[in-house]
Amino acid sequence: MVILWILAGLFGLLLLLLLISLIRTALIPSKKSTYRPSPDPARADAYAEKLSRMIRCETVSCPGEEQREKFLAFHRELEALFPRVHASLEKTEIDGNLLFFWKGKSSEKPLVLMSHQDVVPAEGEWIRPPFSGEIAEGKVWGRGASDTKCSVMAFFQAAEELLAEGYVPENDVYLSSSCTEEWAGDGCPKLVAELKRRGVRPWLVCDEGGGIITDPMGGIRGNFAMIGVFEKGKADVRFTARSGGGHASTPRPHSPIARLAAFVHDVETHRVFRRRLPKEVAAMFETLAPYASFPMKWIFGNLWLFRPVLLQVLPLVSAQAGAMIRTTIAFTMQSGSSACNVMPQEATVSANMRFIPHQGMKESLDVIEKKAAKHGLTMEVLSATDFTPSADLSGDAFRILRETAEKTFPGCPVSPYVMTGATDARFYQEICDHVFRFAPVVYGPEQMKGMHGLNENIEISCLPGAVDFYRNLISANI
């Protein structure tokens, strides 16, 4: 009887909590994202032509190759496109990497606008040649259109226009662009080292990474300015299984490949890393809640109740959202014997890991190494860096970035989010406390699919807004 009373009490409490959550949800005003790029054909066409010319300069970067001359050719195109920037700003070129200094009225709060020049290879069959920069169907096509020559064009153009108006920024401005971002090379570190040599400590850095994302997750429609406030760490690791080899006609159990397969299956079918909702992700859900359909609004608006459920289901409903709550591991490469009838003496599988702050680099690597050891494997860390510190969501820097986005893109909600990939911005964390990832262009499903994929493009209509964002950020009252 006592147990029944307890169960009845718990059931009643659950009903009460659900009722409270429903009432709270009903009290959350429903909102809609109304932002669409404003028609501005003359500016859009002019900017598209500049971006097209930049795309036609092929700037694929590869580790281990001397490619400075390729990037110097791209720099000559930049000089032709943005003559005032090159005439008025102090230019520093370091092995193909660029840094421009625009002297302001004060050096107290320097601003860094950055995005990379280099692009990934363009493989496969494209609708339009990947380095044609073709302008068609209201888009600029080609490798680098969205990742991220659009941003480079936009902040150079913003400076070009402000210089034409005789504008002098309130604070020093730096335009930074590396040529090794796509393979995490030493380009951006060289630029950071140059700023350190000069004794410059930027107050705010705005790199690519986030953007104006269309329909950021299921049940949330429209365009949203998603500002990355920190990056997950990353590592490339290799797991090796060894044996005495032998002929495949007389196989022994627990071969190297079998052990590797068992390990991969073990990792992918069991929860290896802890799940936790970082405060930045919670802030994202709370920001997006008013714009969500009722089921999502109910959950996002009541994290105090649904947090445990959310941690269970997020990885199932969204790979992107799931990656924001835990360390991830993705198996990407494998090798074994050189012949079908030979048992391998050594077989390997490689993986890419991304570390979350609540279970950082050291702990995550220890966890996966112990798991590998249970299957008789050794682990080698090929490269590794930890997560970056988060920007302060209540600080002036985030406020200014948010207000600039709201001013430039009226009707576009602004939300923090976690950068699950990697950018050059991480290198600036050494000398700057307020580092953000936000490219002020619209990334719809087509643009998201094209980055590092086939048929990369960017909508022409969003280019004037990108230029205006950088103009407004340069002239913001920092």
Domains of the chain: 41-231+388-474 (3.40.630.10), 234-385 (3.30.70.360)
Q: Work out the pLDDT band at 253, boundaries 50, 70, 90.
A: confident
pLDDT of 313 reads: 84
d(CA 231, CA 228): 8
d(CA 401, CA 476): 9
Structure tokens at 336: 């074994």
Structure tokens at 461: 């209509």
Higher local confidence (pLDDT), 24 or 333:
333
Instruction: Return phi, psi of residue 366, to 5°.
Output: -65, -40
pLDDT of 245 reads: 84
For strands 204-214 and 223-231, give the pairing.
Answer: antiparallel
Q: Work out the pLDDT band at 237, boundaries 50, 70, 90.
A: very high
Structure tokens at 4: 């029944």
**Of 57-66, 105-114, 157-166, 228-237, which gets the smallest average pLDDT?**
57-66
Secondary-structure percent of the chain, ordered helix, strand, coil, rounded to 5: 40, 25, 35
d(CA 195, CA 218): 42
3-class secondary structure, 393: coil
4 burial via Cβ count (<10 Å: 0-12, 13-18, 19+): exposed
> Which of 37, 67, 63, 23 shows the shortest CA–CA distance to 447?
37
pLDDT at 451 over 80: yes
Structure tokens at 136: 């068609």
Question: Which tens digit of pLDDT belongs to each residue from 261-277?
Answer: 999 999 999 999 999 99
d(CA 189, CA 430): 10
Report the mean per-residue pLDDT for the chain.
94
Q: Work out the pLDDT band at 1, boundaries 50, 70, 90.
A: low
d(CA 90, CA 88): 7
d(CA 350, CA 379): 9
Tell me the average pLDDT across 371-398. 96
Buried b / exposed e across 210-225, counting CB within 10 Å, b at 16+? bbbbbebbebbebbbb
Contacts 24+ apart (CB under 8 A), 38-43: 38/464, 38/465, 39/461, 40/461, 40/464, 43/463, 43/464, 43/467
Q: Work out the pLDDT band at 425, boundaries 50, 70, 90.
A: very high
pLDDT at 20 over 90: no
Angle between helices 361-374 and 256-269 (to 10 degrees): 130
Tell me the average pLDDT across 301-327. 89
pTM of the model: 0.93
3-class secondary structure, 175: strand
d(CA 471, CA 154): 9
Higher local confidence (pLDDT), 321 or 189:
189
Q: Work out the pLDDT band at 460, boundaries 50, 70, 90.
A: very high
pLDDT at 464 over 70: yes
Q: How many CB atoms lie within 10 A of CB 77?
A: 15
pLDDT at 251 over 80: yes
> Which of 443, 451, 456 shows the shortest CA–CA distance to 127?
456
pLDDT at 466 over 80: yes
Tell me the average pLDDT across 390-406. 97
d(CA 34, CA 447): 20
Tell me the average pLDDT across 414-438. 96
Higher local confidence (pLDDT), 221 or 3:
221
pLDDT of 470 reads: 98
Per DSSP, helices labelled H in 37-109 are 41-56, 68-81, 83-88
d(CA 332, CA 54): 32
The distance in angstroms from the start CA to the end CA of the chain is 67
Q: Are 116 and 148 in contact (CB under 8 A)?
A: yes
Q: Work out the pLDDT band at 19, boundaries 50, 70, 90.
A: confident
3-class secondary structure, 17: helix
Number of helices (H), then strands (E), belonging to the chain: the values are 16, 17
Residue found by looking up tokens 């662009």 in the block = 177
d(CA 219, CA 217): 6
pLDDT at 8 over 70: no
pLDDT at 280 over 80: yes
Question: Which tens digit of pLDDT belongs to each residue from 125-181?
Answer: 999 999 999 999 999 999 999 999 999 999 999 999 999 999 999 999 999 999 999
